Structure 1
Amino acid sequence: MAASRDDISPPPIKRRKMSNNGPPARETSDVQLDHLSIYSWNVNGIEPLVQRPITSFFEPRGSIHGSNSSAPSTGLRDVLRRYSWPTLLFLQEVKIAPGNDSTMKAVEKAIQPDIDEPPGAPLYKAFCCLPKDNYNARGFGRKVYGVCSIIRQGFFDAHVERVREVDWDLEGRFLVCETKAIGSLPKLAIVNLYAVNGTDAPYKDPDTGKPFGTRHDRKLQVHKLLQAECQALLSKSFQIVLAGDFNVARAPIDGHPNLRTCPKQHCINRADFEARFIHRGTALGDDSEGAEKRGDGDDRDGGESLGMVDSFRHLHGDKAAYTYHPRGKGFGMSCDRVDMILTSASLRDHLAEAGIHETPADRGPSDHVPLYITLLSH
């Protein structure tokens, strides 16, 4: 059954201008790019988005947005179309087993234009980072974790220097897209991330398999490593965008009906995240006094906080909105905002939009919904 008009959140504003002579041929360059739209979505397994037919949740291709239909279709190409052809679509928890070439080929095929699309439909490239850890990523036939960055071909050709992994993670959790300066935007390092979920389960040495603390310990270690990665990028004149599932909700407003505080380790993880990435004169207000009272200021191992901007909070203040809606409960009954897009404070004036597509229809086969930002390049 198709979602009604009221059940589907609208896409952000669409600024891309068309030629006076009609749609251009398939794009090969975004030289006149005036904005970047960055989407992030924990899909909880990519296979439903690359296999057809499946029970779907989007409107049929070619329909007017918001119309009802009994035969909607979905897939990666439909997702890209639905959200007005974003510059970058970051997917987390894709659950592709290492060496699964058939699924990788299916991803490539699923983002290509359909034969019935009109000229001018954007082309895309896909990059995946999958687990290599033989001890911490073995469950479910190794179909765990993994991220995939889908990037517009024209943008990639004109503005992207490289897409790379990080050398301190083997679980398939990070992809860094490094760009040239774009208009008034400086060089960017746009990071697709799927942060560690802190639990009491053991974390094993990736080389020996010997237990080496817990997943909580690993989460804190990854916070430190990611902070250091960002600091190294800043030293090379990159500004940072972190987009993905952080597996942490920042404040009481980000958890419904309440914020998770038990066991206490979740509070420790949250304070560590805040201290390393958010506090110290951010766009949310200078919270250095509060950080000092909590003991999570600049004396924390790792150096001074990055002072990043939580894009959604910056533009929407105390509005309650959530990205994670677990299965088994009614939509909205228990939910958290654990997916975020953070930016360097210097990008604040470029931030035109930030939003969450918070409907059951937008969730689709996942237990998360997509979120996005728009950065102006002029």
Structure 2
Amino acid sequence: MDRDVSPPALKRRRLGSDTVQTRREKESEIEEQPNPPSSMSEDLSIYSWNVNGIQPFTQRPITSFFKGRQDPKVHHNDTAGAEGPAPTASLRDFLRLRGWPTLLFLQEVKINPSDSATIRSVERSVRAPPGSAEPDYQAHFCLPSDKHNVRGFGGKVYGVCSIIRSDFLRSRVEQVRTVDWDAEGRFQIVETKPCKGIPKLSIWNIYAVNGTTNPYRDPTTGAIKGTRHDRKLAVHALLLSDCKRLEEDGYRVILAGDLNIARARIDGFPNLRTFPEQHQINRADFNAKFFDDPDGLRGIDTFRLLHRDKRGYTYYPRSRKFGESCDRVDLMICSRALKDNVKEANMLETPAFRGPSDHVPVYASFRFGESHHGNDQNRT
């Protein structure tokens, strides 16, 4: 998430003195962390995480980050590890802990495109050790090439990385590609072949544009073409156009990542961002294009499908105590035709799983070959 997505402290109206944690305790909403997906299962399991910089995750030390996280009975409001320096862990350790998911999408990796050493380090960090029986993974990058809109911090801004389990890559993946309308390193697509009654899938790793009043420049000429708000709305239209074309071509679409939009009042705490007004316009445009408009995608928000009235958040700014100010801006959206295939969807909503980032991971899994309606009674 771009740093100014969450409202400044003075712009948020406090709803009493409760944090997310104390409010949930009062409402008796303490829930257990679900079990990790079964290792190498037939389900398609996707994790997505805005890591706010990849470097800490290529290191081998694994101190307090995953301490105790092998226990599936970990409460969502667990505050262990909330204080003290941000711990680190390797990507390989995260994949192992979560039961070897099919895909791990990372956003805001902050790698300069010319930094081959860091790219190789990430690639090595997800590979299986020689002689290991554990699954192997490969890392694919989409890094910025736009010299007019991506200039800060030595080019270490934005960028996404798709980490794909090798057996899935060999047997199911048709191609890993980008889009020609983005040069900021924000979109990468994994597309699959139809197999054993499973439809073709177009699975998007997204780090969406944040709406601000900063100028947006033509990527070729550098001429100012409006604001970042204008660019955000333009990207909504471009993304929708691609999704509709893919569905017409027989693909089922899954959008995963930091969408930089909190959809509704329930998705912001202590309140939803409404200032300045342009954020409300951006939100309405996003909801219309991808959920509400019959001429749009009419997608399924997988978390809200399974947890209709549950409050859950994915962005926790490090400038605030965990739970004081947070938003659900990391989403997994799928084509309506995949509704009955959604098996589970949630987030790992603890300070420990935030780690050195300011987001927590989100995940969803899909089961094919049978209709699967899950166990949640709130499912619509």
* TM-score > 0.5, shorter chain as reference: yes
Distance in 2 between residues matched to 1:247 and 1:73, nearest whole Å: 25
Secondary structure of the 1:39 match is strand
The match for 1:178 is 191
Could you list the per-position Cα deviations for residues 153-177 of structure 1 after superposition, in whole angstroms to 9, with x for gaps in the alignment? 0001000000001000000000010
Distance in 2 between residues matched to 1:97 and 1:11, nearest whole Å: 36
Distance in 1 between residues matched to 2:108 and 2:347, nearest whole Å: 18
Q: 1:76 and 1:252, CA in 2 relative to 1: closer, same or farther beyond 3 A?
A: same
Residue of structure 2 aligned with 1:317, choices 292, 296, 308 = 308
After TM superposition, give the deviation of residue 320 of structure 1 in Å: 0.1
Could you list the per-position Cα deviations for residues 355-375 of structure 1 after superposition, in whole angstroms to 9, with x for gaps in the alignment? 110000110010000011110
Distance in 1 between residues matched to 2:63 and 2:255, nearest whole Å: 32
Residue of structure 2 aligned with 1:164, choices 158, 177, 184 = 177
After TM superposition, give the deviation of residue 222 of structure 1 in Å: 0.4
The match for 1:376 is 367
Q: Which letter does structure 2 place at the counterpart of 1:48?
A: P
CA contact (8 A) 1:355 1:372 kept: yes
The match for 1:30 is none
**Residue range with higher mean Cα deviation, 152-161 or 228-237:** 228-237
Q: Which letter does structure 2 place at the counterpart of 1:100?
A: D
Superposed, 1:224-235 pairs within 5 Å as 224-235=237-248
Secondary structure of the 1:240 match is strand
The match for 1:25 is none
Gaps of 5+ in 2: 1-29, 75-79, 82-86, 370-380
Residue of structure 1 aligned with 2:116, choices 92, 101, 107 = 101
After TM superposition, give the deviation of residue 16 of structure 1 in Å: 4.2
Distance in 1 between residues matched to 2:195 and 2:346, nearest whole Å: 23
Q: Which letter does structure 2 place at the counterpart of 1:15?
A: S
Q: 1:55 and 1:95, CA in 2 relative to 1: closer, same or farther beyond 3 A?
A: farther
Could you list the per-position Cα deviations for residues 133-184 of structure 1 after superposition, in whole angstroms to 9, with x for gaps in the alignment? 0100010000000000000000010000000010000000000100012434
Distance in 1 between residues matched to 2:97 and 2:64, nearest whole Å: 13
Distance in 1 between residues matched to 2:221 and 2:32, nearest whole Å: 48
**Residue range with higher mean Cα deviation, 49-58 or 247-256:** 49-58
After TM superposition, give the deviation of residue 120 of structure 1 in Å: 2.6
After TM superposition, give the deviation of residue 219 of structure 1 in Å: 0.3
Secondary structure of the 1:239 match is strand
The match for 2:266 is 253
Secondary structure of the 2:312 match is coil
Could you list the per-position Cα deviations for residues 87-140 of structure 1 after superposition, in whole angstroms to 9, with x for gaps in the alignment? 00000000001111000000011102246xx84300001100000001000100
The match for 1:14 is 37
Q: Which letter does structure 2 place at the counterpart of 1:84?
A: G
Secondary structure of the 2:236 match is helix
**Residue range with higher mean Cα deviation, 228-237 or 318-327:** 228-237
Gaps of 5+ in 1: 1-6, 18-32, 281-297, 299-303
The match for 1:47 is 55
Distance in 2 between residues matched to 1:12 and 1:54, nearest whole Å: 21
Distance in 1 between residues matched to 2:272 and 2:37, nearest whole Å: 35
CA contact (8 A) 2:269 2:324 kept: yes
Superposed, 1:345-360 pairs within 5 Å as 345-360=336-351
RMSD: 2.3
Distance in 2 between residues matched to 1:160 and 1:137, nearest whole Å: 30
Could you list the per-position Cα deviations for residues 311-369 of structure 1 after superposition, in whole angstroms to 9, with x for gaps in the alignment? 00000001000000001111011000000000000001110100110000110010000
Question: TM-score, normalised to structure 1's length?
Answer: 0.83
Taking only the aligned residue pairs, the percentage that are identical comes to 54
Secondary structure of the 1:329 match is coil
The match for 1:89 is 104
The match for 2:152 is 139
CA contact (8 A) 2:34 2:72 kept: no
After TM superposition, give the deviation of residue 211 of structure 1 in Å: 1.2
Could you list the per-position Cα deviations for residues 13-57 of structure 1 after superposition, in whole angstroms to 9, with x for gaps in the alignment? 53347xxxxxxxxxxxxxxx6210011000000111013447651
Q: 1:9 and 1:201, CA in 2 relative to 1: closer, same or farther beyond 3 A?
A: farther
Secondary structure of the 2:167 match is helix
The match for 2:373 is none
Distance in 1 between residues matched to 2:62 and 2:120, nearest whole Å: 18
After TM superposition, give the deviation of residue 185 of structure 1 in Å: 2.5
- Aligned pair count? 330
The match for 2:208 is 195
Q: Which letter does structure 2 place at the counterpart of 1:277?
A: F
**Residue range with higher mean Cα deviation, 47-56 or 77-86:** 47-56
Q: 1:49 and 1:11, CA in 2 relative to 1: closer, same or farther beyond 3 A?
A: farther
Question: TM-score, normalised to structure 2's length?
Answer: 0.82
Secondary structure of the 2:191 match is strand
Distance in 2 between residues matched to 1:233 and 1:123, nearest whole Å: 29
Distance in 2 between residues matched to 1:348 and 1:49, nearest whole Å: 33
The match for 1:58 is 66
Distance in 2 between residues matched to 1:259 and 1:86, nearest whole Å: 32
Q: 1:352 and 1:66, CA in 2 relative to 1: closer, same or farther beyond 3 A?
A: closer
CA contact (8 A) 2:61 2:90 kept: no
Residue 172 (structure 2) pairs with residue 151 (structure 1): no
Could you list the per-position Cα deviations for residues 263-284 of structure 1 after superposition, in whole angstroms to 9, with x for gaps in the alignment? 000000000000110114xxxx
